[in-house]
Structure 1
Amino acid sequence: MLKILLIEDEFIIAKDIKTLLKKNNYGLIDIAKNDISATKLFSENDYDLIISDINLNSEKDGIEIISEFSEIKSVPVVYLTAYSDLDIINRAEKTMPFAYILKPYNNYQLLTTINLALLNFNKYDSSIEENSENTIKLSLLTAREKEILITLSTGKTSKETANVLNISTNTVEQHKKNIKKKLDFKTIGELINFTMSSKLFKIS
């Protein structure tokens, strides 16, 4: 079970994200509303993922907080931001986030982005080298098929994947069949190995 640190100063947003993550079995979620509480929680716990708003009503913004955390331990990060300002994005990218998402977003976008961050971190942490042939084969897949691959590769079942993407389990199974046919694979293990060795940094 994942342990997640959510850094968000807006109570309603934080509550909604925590409820969404718990509903979809993403593990235990701690909420910090500023840099002080975030630092305290980070020092006392071992987190598998950090979700941080960039713009906080705090002495330090999300980027500064994550920058300090990254000097202590490497943890996959998903940034939330209402701004697509180039300077902010450049600052954020210097802390090597594994994904970020612009507000407003819907629930399925957030969950898919979290899965992408976990997948990319696992690639990085396991030092999995890119297979250029697999990366080229990504062009055979639709955006939805890529989303399904990402979610399945983080350990989700077909039913859990269906819940994340707000589609039926039968639809997930049909997509899996289509993906296997396109890539000439027989098992889900082959699909996961493919996903882990391809350069899947975005789904569009």
Structure 2
Amino acid sequence: MSKVKVFIIEDDFIHTNRLEMYLDEMGYELAGTAASSTQALNLIAATKPDLLLVDIHLAGDLSGIQIVEHLNNKKAIPVIFITSYRDKETFETAKLTDPYAYIIKPYDKETLQAAIELAVYKFSKIKTANSQNEYPEEAKDSLEKGMLFLKSKGRLIKIILSDILYIEAKDKLCLIYLSKEIIEVRMSLQKLEDELKDNQVFLRVHRSFIINKEEISQVNLSKNEVLVGNFNVPVGRSYKQSFLNSIHVV
């Protein structure tokens, strides 16, 4: 798991500091800051952020909108525009770059939080939906081991799918077991299974468990359980045959 990385493009020192403070309080990682187009483009290429917070009107040769247009020609990164300008012309120009949100100054932390959550969620859904059509055959393996953005304890977290050992439903939570930590998310196991349905390494083996097949080290048929990492996970009776078929028992 890693935090969502946010990059700030803003030439006002006070606003930059406020954004940094808000991001820290919300549990996001600051990928970097820039006050000019040249600085922004170089640092974004180096830091590879998950999200951009961009002031529209910057001092220098390029506006925030033009920076985003340049980035969109290379690789799409979700963008939230921030501006003190309320005129329709600015909004219509910004809209052409397909931003995920548009915030008017002054704003509060709750407004920024909602915009970030919506932007990351929408981008992750679009990326998942388009992945099979946008990438060549040889890239599918890396796509299947991509990432998932989930909300946990009031913050968005980025989970690398290949780091997941197994998932357990407990009460109204899903516990996502990674090699070094456990992530709690408030959602049903069925919904999480639906999110992972295009990834062939995840398999439902019990009404309360989903496992990563690549992490199986042992299958105990007499006890109806599998060893995933260092954890014993039960295999339900109704799931046993489909599980055995999926791991190609000979």
Same-fold call, TM cutoff 0.5: yes
The aligned residue for residue 74 of structure 2 is: 72
The aligned residue for residue 57 of structure 1 is: 59
Alpha-carbon shift at residue 190 of structure 1 (Å): 7.1
The aligned residue for residue 207 of structure 2 is: none
Are residue 84 (structure 1) and residue 86 (structure 2) matched?
Answer: yes
Q: Percent same amino acid among aligned pairs? A: 29
Cα distance in 2 for residues equivalent to 1:97 and 1:159: 24
Q: Deviations over 1:153-176 (max 9, x none)?
A: 952224548xxxxxxxxxxxxxx9
The structure number with the bigger radius of gyration is 2
1:155 to 145, 150, 156: 150
Structure ranking higher in strand proportion: 2
Cα distance in 2 for residues equivalent to 1:190 and 1:18: 34
Q: Deviations over 1:14-65 (max 9, x none)?
A: 0111121012211133010111110111222211101100011121110000
The aligned residue for residue 94 of structure 1 is: 96
* Paired residue type of 2:150: G
Runs of 5+ in structure 2 lacking a partner? 131-147, 157-171, 173-185, 196-250
Paired residues, what number? 146
Runs of 5+ in structure 1 lacking a partner? 129-152, 162-175, 177-186, 197-204
The aligned residue for residue 113 of structure 1 is: 115
2:128 to 123, 126, 129: 126
Are residue 188 (structure 1) and residue 187 (structure 2) matched?
Answer: yes
The aligned residue for residue 159 of structure 2 is: none
* Shift in alpha-carbon separation, 1:69–1:159, aligned structure 2, 3 A: closer
Measured on the aligned residues, the alpha-carbon RMSD in Å equals 2.4
Residues 35-50 of structure 1 aligned to structure 2 (within 5 Å): 35-50=37-52
Aligned residues of 1:115 and 1:154 also touching (Cα < 8 A)? no
Structure ranking higher in helix proportion: 1
* Shift in alpha-carbon separation, 1:192–1:70, aligned structure 2, 3 A: farther
Cα distance in 1 for residues equivalent to 2:190 and 2:99: 25
